[in-house]
Amino acid sequence: MTMEKTKNDGALQIALEGRLDTTTAPQLEEELKSGMDGITELIFDFEKLAYISSAGLRVLLSAQKAMNKQGKMLIRHVNETIMEIFEVTGFVDILSIE
Amino acid sequence: MNEELKQKIREILLERYGVDIAEAVCRFSTQNYAFIFPERPYMIRVSISPKKSRSEILSELMWVDDLKPFKQTICEPNASLNGLLLEEFAIDGKLYRASMFRTARGNIKLTTEMKPMFFICVGDLLGAIHHVSTNERELGIRYSRKKLSDTFDALKNRVKEHIPPQIEKRITSVQQEVDSLPEELGRYGICHGDFHINNFFVEENNIWLFDFDGCTYASYMYDVASFIQACFLMGYKAGEDCRKVLYEDILPYFKTGYELNKECDEHYWDHLELFITYRVAMAYMSLLEIDECGVVDDLEQIRQFLSYIISQEDVLGAMTAALKQQAGGHDEGK
C-alpha cells in the first residue's frame, strides 16, 4: 500500500493506494498516531484503494474516535468494493462518507 | 458432482485462485463443496445456489478475518488472485460463491482423548473469540448476519407439523426464556454458531477452528452450550452423570481458559443449562428437516434420542439417563 499525505494548516488529506489489510494497517495506524496533533480535519481519499480488511476498518474506527474529539473525519471517493464492505459491517452509519 | 460441472468449476477456480481442484479431495455437505488439497495449507469452499446472501457471506469472511490477529489458530480466508475474499460465478444460470480458507492442522479429537488441558485450550479459544465479538460491538461494527432467535423461530415454523404437541410446548417455553434475556454487551454478540468438536482440529495444545458458515448473533453461552452438548452426545464419559461431569470435569477447566481472554462476572455462567436445552432443541428441529446427515448413521434413532431429552424438564438428567441406556444397549449387544 502507498500513502500520499497533503497537509494544509489543520487539514490533513491521506490518499491510499493498494490494499489496507493486516499487513499494511499498522503502517497507517503509526502514521495517524504520530501526525494528528493540531489536525481538525482528516480526509481519506480512497479512490485508489482496492481492498480494506477488518484490520483496516479498525484503524479507521480509531481515527474516527480520535477525530470526534478534535474535529471531523471524511472519507472520499469510495469505490463499489469498499462501499460494500462498509455496508455489510455497518460502517456507513459510523463514518462520514462523501 | 458430475464431471461436466466439476470441469467448469475447475477452470474458473484455476483462473481465480491459481490452483487446480483436480489435485483436491472433494467433500460435499448440505450447502457446500469443500475442495481440500492434501499437504497444502488451504482449501476452497464453493457454495451452490447459496441460501445466504452475498452480504451475509461477506460478513462471515470479514468477521473471521478480524478474529485472525487475536487468535492464530483461526482458519481465516485468503484473498483470490483478484484480491477478493469472495468470488462469484454462474454456471448454467446457477450462482456459485467461492472462498479460500487456510486449513486446520491436526485431527478431530476423540472424546476418549479429552483431558483437562484440552478443555482449557478450547475455553481459551472461545474466550478470545467472544472477547473480539464484544470489542467489535463496542466499536460499532455490525455484521449482516441473522440473529439466532430468528433462525430458531423460522426453523420451528418449518418443522412445526412434525413436532408432537408436548414437545412443541416445551420448545416454545425454552425459546421464550432465551428470548427474554437482554442482549447485553459482553454477553451477546456475533458467535461461531456451531462450535463443537467436529468443527475444530487439535494439534497438541492448538485448537484450529473452522466452519464459520453458521456465525450468528446470539448469547455467547450458546457457543459454550454447543461445545458441551456435543461432548456428551459424542460420548464423553458416557454412562456417568452429565451434570457432575459438566461441573467437575469440564467447566472448571473450560472457564480457566475462557476467562484468560474474556471478562466474566459472577452471573456469567448462570444460563448455561438453559442454553444446553436450547441447543438440544435446535439440533432436534434441524434433524426433522433433513433426510440424511453425514455425522450420524441412524437419523431416526438420534431424533428419538433428542426428542426424549428435550421432552424432559431436566435436560442434563435426561441426557444422563438416555446415554446410560444407550451404553447399556451397546453392552448387551456385545
Residues B306-333 have pLDDT tens digits of: 999 999 999 999 999 999 887 776 554 4
pLDDT at B94: 87
Helix then strand then coil, % of chain B, to nearest 5: 50, 15, 30
Three-state DSSP at B15 gives: helix
Selected for mutation to probe chain B from A60, A82, A89 (highest B CB count within 10 Å) is: A89
| CATH number attached to the domain at B111-333 | 3.90.1200.10
- In a 10 Å sphere around its CB, with 0-12 CB exposed, 13-18 middle and 19+ buried, how is residue B111 labelled? middle
**CB A61 to CB B66 under 8 A?**
no
In a domain, A98, yes or no: no
User: How far apart are alpha carbons B108 and B202 in whole angstroms?
Assistant: 6
Give B218-249 as a DSSP string: EEHHHHHHHHHHHHHHTTTTTTS-HHHIIIII
Q: Is residue A44 part of a domain?
A: yes
**Residues in chain B with pLDDT values less than 70:** 29-31, 49-50, 291-297, 329-334
Question: Residue B332 has what pLDDT?
Answer: 47
> In chain A, which stretches have pLDDT less than 50?
none
Residue A50: list chain B partners with CB under 8 A: 83
How far A28 CA lies from chain B's nearest CA (Å)? 16
Structural domain of A71: 2-93
Q: Residue type at A11?
A: A
Here the ipTM equals 0.79
Architecture of the domain delimited by B23-102:
2-Layer Sandwich (3.30)
Q: Which residues of B touch A51 (CB under 8 A)?
A: 79, 83-84
What pLDDT does B198 receive?
83
Radius of gyration, alpha carbons of chain A: 12
Cβ under 8 Å to B: A residues 42-61: 50-51, 53-55, 57-58, 61
The per-residue pLDDT for B297 is 61
Using the Cα atoms of residue B28, residue B33, residue B37 and residue B42 in order, give the sign of their dihedral: negative
The total domain count for chain A is: 1
pLDDT of residue A76: 96
| Closest chain B residue to A23, measured at CA | B69
Rounded Cα distance between B121 and B105, Å, is 15
Q: Where in chain B is the domain with CATH 3.30.200.20?
A: 23-102
> A-B interface: how many C-beta pairs under 8 angstroms?
52
CB within 8 A of B87, min separation 6: which ones? B16, B17, B80, B97, B98, B99
CATH number at residue A77: 3.30.750.24
pLDDT at position B200 is: 86
State the burial class of residue B331 (Cβ atoms within 10 Å of its Cβ: 0-12, 13-18, 19+): exposed
- CB-nearest to B140 from A51, A54, A90 is A90
- For residue B330, the model assigns a pLDDT of 54
